[in-house]
Structure 1
Amino acid sequence: MTRVNHEKLTRFVSRSFEKLGVTSGDAEIAAKVLVAADLRGVDTHGVIRFSPQAWYVKWLTEGSMTARPNIRVISESSSTALIDGDRGMGMVIGHRAMELAIRKAKESGIGMVGVRNSRHYGMSAYYAMLALPHDMIGIAMTNASRQVVPTFGREARFGTNPMCYSVPADQELPFVLDMATTTAAAGKLELAARQGKSIPAGWALNEQAEATLDPRMAQKARRLLPLGGSREGGSHKGYGLAILVEILCGVLTGTMTALNADQDPRGHFFGAIRVDTFRPVAEFKRDMDRLIRELKSTPPIEGQERVYVAGEIEFETAEERAERGIPLLPSVLKGLREVSEHMGVPYDLE
């Protein structure tokens, strides 16, 4: 794989978005969200989705995603709001919605913002982590296209419905739990297919609703399994979490992706909680450090060097990739070169 400087990559993606009619400010936000995913090692939600045939470029080109949306607040209270995204880029809408949640939390102690009529917003952690500099707990979640079967089910009825919670600490790294409610995110099927690898058992079913290890067959079938894989493995818990996300992002906002025939638009839900409305921030962060250190002090099992806490691997990956560059697959670079040719944006990544 070729390593690419993250700042160059961000500039390239931002300029490409501008060529597609997105304002410079919104283009910069969207590019930062995508590259942040690659930096943190969440390669399924980064520039792998940035080619003329995939997602954002395709949707903006065909007009199914609004380049310059009229994002507006539909209803509002001192601590809550509902935003209509006008089918704009989820990254831009999500950024604004999370900023609004943080502003409300500063005033009221807590801010909860729902979003309707949006599109795919990328990596959930980006939004939840916006709360960290404000000494707040951040929450971000979204519903997704219908490709997950309920426990005991044969057909897909809801999406991977990811969620993220970010919590500040003091000397330790923040706790950042960013997870799909499936055993594996849908993007991991594509990554496995591009790398020519099989997928583990418990990830997905084929079109006959039988277990499969073939990522391309799984992609075609669109029958991912809830977190746990089977009832014996606890998939009813993943199923329940996914529907909870659908309720907050879909039923509460009026954008139930699980019931939409065309799988779009999407609904999101964001939250910010001011720590100091419960206890002094310094005390809270001190106890977060104590908790994290206790977890990390757990003796590892044979074959493993250490025990991690949620978000730790991603922070370490981001540090390494910021220094050495983001490793990109040849197929991803090919897609970026095609964007350069189509958009007339100079290609300086290799």
Structure 2
Amino acid sequence: MAEYPGSEHERRVPAADLADGVARIFEAAGMGPADAALLADSLVHADLRGIHSHGTLRVPDYVKKLTTDGVDPRAVPVVERRAGAAIVIDGANAMGQIAMDLAMRTVIEAAGEHGIAMAAIGRSNHCGAMDYWAMRALPHDMIGIAGTNALPTMAPWGGAEKLVGMNPLAIAVPAAEEPAIVLDAAFGMTAHGKIRVYAQKGEPIPEGWATDAQGNPTTDAVAALDGLILPAGGHKGIGIGIMVGLLSTLLADAGYGLESGNMEEGAYVGRDGQFAMAIKIDAFRPAAGVKARVDQIA
């Protein structure tokens, strides 16, 4: 197996201490205290839920984005346009978490009035694990839905060129006494970040996850980082990934596929796109009854 410089030692730390330390790192990278704390909380949340591909593993990448890759650590996303429950958010080239925070707060407020609301987010960047955002709706007796585009790591079914991103989707449905039912899934066999976790540990990935740069099936995690991730469910996985990418980009004029991040007039401009939705259960049926039924299903 190819070598990858990973950590030789692992140790456990309290989640609150980890979040505080990560927030301090982001402050040192130029973020304000509140935004740094939000960014750190999203990463620690992912680690606590076992989504290490979107957890504190991302800290070095995020620092690089904030300090050398052109993401604006002090950007303030704004509501660019609103027509009732239809909302467009200008991410202002901030980290995606800052834009998604505004988006979820806005759709939750709008769904309270209209029953359902959706925000399209443009000029954004990587926003972490999507379940973090969908779950924001749960305390409000709402169903949360969130999706994002991503740089291509998959080929269309039967192809050999990276054209489709993992484009994950999360849906969170509240329950009464049981834990909420939450889906957070990309539409490849695995997430690119999970392959990085295997590479850091020097472990092989499962068969059927990826190919190397020449298109050969591989279990070498480092070789897979240069190759293709295989779609889950073949053409169905590719199809769902394409549609999530379209929902994440078209309504906010964000970049699709290789357009996600680009240089404009010599400066990096984040062109990731996301979408966020909130559905007020009481607008359809009494929330207590719906959540009790979710308990039965769970």
TM-score normalised by structure 2 residue count: 0.92
CA offsets 1:254-273 (integer angstroms, 9 cap, x no match) = 11331417465210000000
Cα distance in 2, alignment partners of residues 238 and 14 from structure 1: 36
- Which one of the candidate residues 95, 105, 118 is aligned to 1:99? 105
Match of 1:26 among 20, 29, 35: 35
Map of 2:232 onto structure 1: 227
What is the one-letter code of the residue matched to 2:164?
Answer: F
Q: SS where residue 218 of structure 2 aligns?
A: coil
Q: Is the 8 A contact 1:146 1:257 kept in 2?
A: no
Contact 1:246 / 1:256 at 8 angstroms: preserved in 2?
A: no
Alignment of 1:197-346 (within 5 A): 197-221=203-227, 223-228=228-233, 235-260=234-259, 262=261, 264-292=270-298
Q: Give the unaligned 5+ runs of structure 1.
A: 229-234, 293-350
Correspondence for 1:12: 21
Which residue does 1:156 correspond to in 2?
Answer: 162
Per-residue displacement from partner, 1:95-130 (whole Å, max 9, x unpaired)? Answer: 111111101101111110010011100110100000
Asked whether the equivalents of residues 205 and 221 of structure 2 are also in contact (C-alpha less than 8 Å), the reply is yes
Q: Which amino acid aligns with 1:183?
A: M
Deviations 1:135-178 (A, max 9, x none): 00000110001111111010110211111000001111100001
Deviation of 1:252 (Å)? 2.2
Q: Structure 2: how far apart are the matches of 1:218 and 1:270?
A: 31
Could you tell me which amino acid in structure 2 is paired with residue 256 of structure 1? G
Question: What is the percent sequence identity of the aligned residues?
Answer: 39
Counterpart AA for 1:50: V
Whichever residue aligns with residue 230 of structure 2, its letter is L
Offset of residue 24 of structure 1: 1.2
Q: 1:135, 1:274 within 8 Å by CA — same for their partners in 2? A: yes
2:196 to 190, 199, 208: 190
Could you tell me which runs of 5 or more consecutive residues in structure 2 were left unpaired when the two chains were aligned.
1-9, 263-269
Alpha-carbon distance, 1:70 to partner:
3.3
Instruction: Measure the CA separation in 2 of the matches of 1:185 and 1:63.
Output: 22
Partner residue, 2:59:
50
2:110 maps to amino acid: K
> What SS does the aligned partner of 1:4 have?
coil
On the 8 A contact 1:150/1:225 being kept in 2, the answer is no
> Per the alignment, in what secondary structure is the counterpart of residue 208 of structure 1?
coil
Q: Distance in 1 between matches of 2:69 and 2:183?
A: 34
Residue 20 of structure 1 deviates from its aligned partner by 1.6
- Once the 2 structures are TM-superposed, how far is the Cα of residue 62 of structure 1 from its aligned partner? 0.9
For 1:35 and 1:259, locate their aligned partners in 2 and report how far apart those are by CA, in whole Å.
Answer: 29
In the alignment, is the contact (CA less than 8 A) between 1:155 and 1:209 conserved in 2?
no
Structure 1 or 2, whichever has the larger Rg, is 1
Distance 1:257 1:17 in 2: 28
Residues 1:242 and 1:261: Cα distance change in structure 2 (over 3 Å): closer
Contact conserved, 1:125 with 1:140, CA < 8 A, in 2?
Answer: yes
Aligned to 2:266: none
Matching residue of 2:83: 77
Question: How well do the aligned residues superpose, as a CA RMSD in angstroms?
Answer: 1.3
> What secondary structure sits across from 1:112 in the alignment?
strand
Amino acid at match of 2:37: E
Offset, 1:26:
0.9
Structure 1 residues 173 and 262: alpha-carbon distance in aligned structure 2, compared to 1, 3 A threshold: closer
Contact 1:148 1:160 in 2 (8 A): yes
Report the secondary structure of 1:147's partner residue. strand
